[in-house]
Structure 1
Amino acid sequence: MSSEFDKKVDDFFKNYQDRGMKKWAGFYLSDHTAKINQDNKRRNTIYVKKKPMDQIDIRAILMRSFGEHRKVSVQLKELSIDNDLQADIVGFVEGYREDTAIISGNLVLIDYINHIDFIN
């Protein structure tokens, strides 16, 4: 014994065609698309290799940055997995030793620094 409602439900599902992904297209939020665009921009950015500096100049800038609390931009010699230059590390020198420096929370081996500049 089937009710009128059960018959309508059965008829609905017999004739229903799912639209697939079309129905989900409206659910992309603005923050999702902004993140996707930001990620695409980051991937498509090509970094140019700066002029290599010698260790004496690198250490002098690190020491001066630490003492004067000046912001620096550091380009590493190390390449990414895709064999590309990585983005510069930008920030303040928070600590400095003979072979390492801490720049905005990043531990950096001084031997791996290609170029360093002050940022105004």
Structure 2
Amino acid sequence: MSSDLDKRVEEFFRTYQDRGMKKWAGFYLSDYTAKINKDKKRRNTVYIKKKTMDQKDIRAMLLKSFGEHRKVSVQLKNLSVNNDLQADIVGFVEGYQEDTTIISQNLVLIEDINHINLVE
């Protein structure tokens, strides 16, 4: 014995035509546009070269950061593929040896550091 609701449901599915990908196109377009805009913003960001510090000052700052467990911002000398400065590495000094340091899981050669400062 079928109820009126069952008949209406059967009728709906018998005549229903799925719009397929058309109903998702708006979502794809907005997600794609957001990704394009984010990538464009990242590419248009220009990092200014900070004053080059000598190795003695860099090592002193690393030691101070490590000893006091303070966050640092490190600008590297290395340029990106497009010959642009890279974004600063910001984080805590997790380890420190004579030639290398680990800052927020990034292994950094001390000779590659251009500038370092403590982050408040």
Tell me the TM-score normalized by structure 2.
0.75
**For residues 69-103 of structure 1, what are the alpha-carbon distances to aligned partners after superposition, in whole Å with 9 as ceiling and x for unaligned?**
10000000000010110000000000000000000
**What is the match of residue 3 of structure 1?**
none
**What is the match of residue 75 of structure 1?**
75
Letter in 2 for 1:101: T
Match status 1:86 vs 2:59: no
What's the % identity of the aligned pairs?
78
Q: Give, in angstroms, the shift of residue 36 of structure 1.
A: 2.9
**What is the match of residue 104 of structure 1?**
104
Task: Please give the secondary structure, in 1, of the residue aligned with 2:91.
Answer: strand
Match status 1:57 vs 2:64: no
Q: Give, in angstroms, the shift of residue 30 of structure 1.
A: 5.1
Tell me the TM-score normalized by structure 1.
0.75
**What is the match of residue 39 of structure 1?**
39
Task: Please give the secondary structure, in 1, of the residue aligned with 2:80.
Answer: coil
Moved runs in structure 1, 4+ residues, more than 4 A?
22-25, 29-32
Alpha-carbon distance in 1 for matches of 2:107, 2:34: 30
Q: In angstroms, what is the RMSD of aligned CA positions?
A: 2.0
Q: Give, in angstroms, the shift of residue 26 of structure 1.
A: 1.4
Specify every segment of 5 or more residues in structure 1 that has no aligned partner in the other structure, as ranges: 1-21
Alpha-carbon distance in 1 for matches of 2:87, 2:40: 15
Task: Please give the secondary structure, in 2, of the residue aligned with 1:37.
Answer: helix
Alpha-carbon distance in 1 for matches of 2:29, 2:103: 35
Letter in 2 for 1:40: K
**For residues 40-80 of structure 1, what are the alpha-carbon distances to aligned partners after superposition, in whole Å with 9 as ceiling and x for unaligned?**
11110000000000000000000000010100000000000
Q: Give, in angstroms, the shift of residue 106 of structure 1.
A: 0.2
Alpha-carbon distance in 2 for matches of 1:76, 1:62: 14
